[in-house]
Chains A and B, each alone.
Chain A
């Protein structure tokens, strides 16, 4: 089991008001799975992703990542796990400005303690998302779809155990969105575990399993019966 959460709760305290965002979430995920976490805005899906991605801590509950109880880890240990085990793709790309494509992809490796050839690895993953011709472009010189592919390359560069994609197509036109989904599906086929967070059923159906979150609880967790396959240039229905 890659991820195992039991009765996960998250509360935000603003002044005297306690907001219960997650009210006891339990599920598990195996290596190589492609799941989608779906739900309307305010459902708690983003908070769940942040906790699963070790960016945030649960108020209560159990969370095991690759068998390690991560609820007891300190800030620096969490940073190290994010660095080595987790890749993020965000809706708004979050690329560094005034920095070229290659350096953006290198970023996670510069914080790594592992001794690998950073340059070679970064070029490798950029080639795998079809951006070998954009290495020295600055991030303001490339299109939205290319930006998201740079972000995917950055998520891949440290060879993570799981990739989190938070509304990865939300800021893209449909063609670029399809390209991104195609890459994610290919990466999954190659053995990568992917957790997609979205509010669109259409996007979610690219995954093999959908977890529906509503009001801080999992209301539904089942496999996709008619899975969508993204192919560059055409929209499959």
Chain B
């Protein structure tokens, strides 16, 4: 029995080596399919970890409040580009009160508007972010020179701005910026501070920010009464859930919402952790969808294998007849051809895995070189999946040709020219 399998395996290698080009081309379908699955899974995992790391870098004790209602897992309505005006500056101030939400350390409100900054003949187009004096406490970051605006300036329509390092460089070059007056729309703003260079955190470029008191931006630049968003920092990650509940209760009371289930809410309060979960769900779905697409190419590869195996059965009809004449039964013939098909796919699978891993590695090296914190992840699952699927492809698509071979009548097969 052992000798039978040894011979069967040897025969399948002989058959494959007899037509090297053909075997390789047959395998190519499987190689590409398996390689694609591995690369997509690895790139997906790398991109996912990159996104998650970006968001985590903001801190897991951040809470965001957006206008408009949304389900537990769905994206906030404002993400769809719809402007909702239900959130106000006073809402943000209410959250800041310890009696309402005791666990909040700092609260910042945001309202932004597109703006062109002019200084002499220089200009800078960007987004003017109106915020509150709690900004630094929530977002982090340091003022490199000058100072941030005060609570008084926030309240009394002061025309002051704090610039990101990139804005300063573009607008002023090496000249001193502090104390200069720049023109936004028809108003002149005094530059009171320059932020220290910080780069991109959680997909936000902090260096091109133009910060001004929120009420100034609302009244003088944007001409609106509502605010775009509230962000708050909770004293400890453990208290995030409680803080969100307190925020909801406070805002419902202020907005005269009696339904405590959340169905009637005109705002959405979420923690960074919840946002993380949501993004993980989305990226996971994307990753598996792409992997499924790649697996489709395995199916095509499998059809190629079936085709070649059918040719092989026809070519080796006399051999099949001879084997039957010397005592091979249908099962022997069937298992021999199945083994051949599985050998092709497994071989292709292994080559595909190696290629896939190499390509994923190269991608991670290039990504790291380009400055992304990209991790090289080849999951055991993807390798297992690729090997398993390719073996199953061999089995399934080898079955029909193998069955055809096993059912040949010995006399007919021996007579075949």
Chain A residues with a Cβ under 8 A of chain B: 50, 53, 55-56, 75-76, 79-80, 82-84, 88, 90, 94, 96, 98-99, 103, 106-113, 118, 154, 158
Q: Which residues of B contact A113 (CB under 8 A)?
A: 1
CB distance from A116 to the nearest CB of B (A): 10
Instruction: Give complex CA distance A112, B3 in Å.
Output: 10
> Please, could you name 24 A-B residue pairs with CB atoms under 8 Å apart, sorted by A?
A55-B324, A55-B411, A56-B409, A76-B331, A79-B327, A79-B330, A80-B329, A82-B324, A82-B326, A83-B327, A83-B328, A88-B326, A94-B318, A94-B321, A98-B17, A103-B7, A103-B10, A106-B3, A107-B323, A110-B3, A110-B4, A110-B7, A113-B1, A118-B3
Q: Are B325 and A55 in contact (CB under 8 A)?
A: yes
For the complex of A and B, the 9 pairs showing the least CB-CB separation, nearest first, are A83-B327, A79-B329, A108-B326, A94-B322, A111-B327, A55-B410, A76-B329, A56-B411, A110-B4
Q: B318-346 CB contact bits vs A (8 Å, 1 = yes)?
A: 11011111111111100000000000000
Count: A-B pairs, CB below 8 Å: 73
Task: State whether B331 touches A158 (Cβ < 8 A).
Answer: no
- What residues of chain A lie closer than 8 Å to B325, measured between beta carbons? 53, 55, 82, 88, 94
CA distance A109 to B323 in the complex (A): 11
CB nearest neighbor in A for B410: A55
Chain B residues near A98: list those with CB within 8 A. Answer: 14, 17-18
Name which residue of chain B comes closest to A82, CB basis: B327
Are A84 and B327 in touch, CB under 8 angstroms?
yes
CB within 8 Å of A: which of B1-55? 1, 3-4, 7, 10-11, 14, 17-18
Residue of A nearest to B331 (CB): A76
Binding site for A on B (CB under 8 A): 1, 3-4, 7, 10-11, 14, 17-18, 318-319, 321-332, 409-411, 414
Contact of B327 among A90, A96, A99, A112 (CB under 8 A): A112
Least CB distance, B415 to chain A, in whole angstroms: 9
A109 lies within 8 A of B3 (CB): yes
Min Cβ gap A42→B in Å is: 14
A96 CA to B322 CA in the complex, in Å?
A: 9
Q: Interface of chain A, helix or strand or loop or mixed?
A: helix
CA distance A86 to B17 in the complex (A): 32
Q: Complex formed: what's the CA distance from A106 to B3 in Å?
A: 9
Please give the distance in Å from A86's CB to the nearest CB on chain B. 8
How far is it, in angstroms, between the C-alpha of A98 and the C-alpha of B19 when the chains are bound? 12
- Bound Cα distance A53, B326 (Å): 10
A8 CB → nearest B CB, Å: 15
**A residues less than 8 Å from B10 (CB atoms):** 103
Q: Which residues of B contact A158 (CB under 8 A)?
A: 327
Task: Establish whether residues B328 and A111, one from each chain, have CB atoms under 8 Å apart when the complex forms.
Answer: yes
Q: Report chain A residues within 8 Å CB of B17.
A: 98
Known contacts A98-B18, A110-B7; is-contact A79 B324 (Cβ 8 Å): yes
- Are A154 and B329 CB-contacts (below 8 A) given A103-B7, A109-B3? no
Let me know if A80 and B327 touch, CB within 8 A. Answer: yes
A residues in contact with B18, CB < 8 Å: 98
Contact, CB under 8 Å: A75 / B329: yes
Q: How near does chain A come to B362, taking the closest CB pair, in angstroms?
A: 39
Question: Which one of B318, B326, B409, B414 lies within 8 Å of A154 (CB-CB)?
Answer: B326
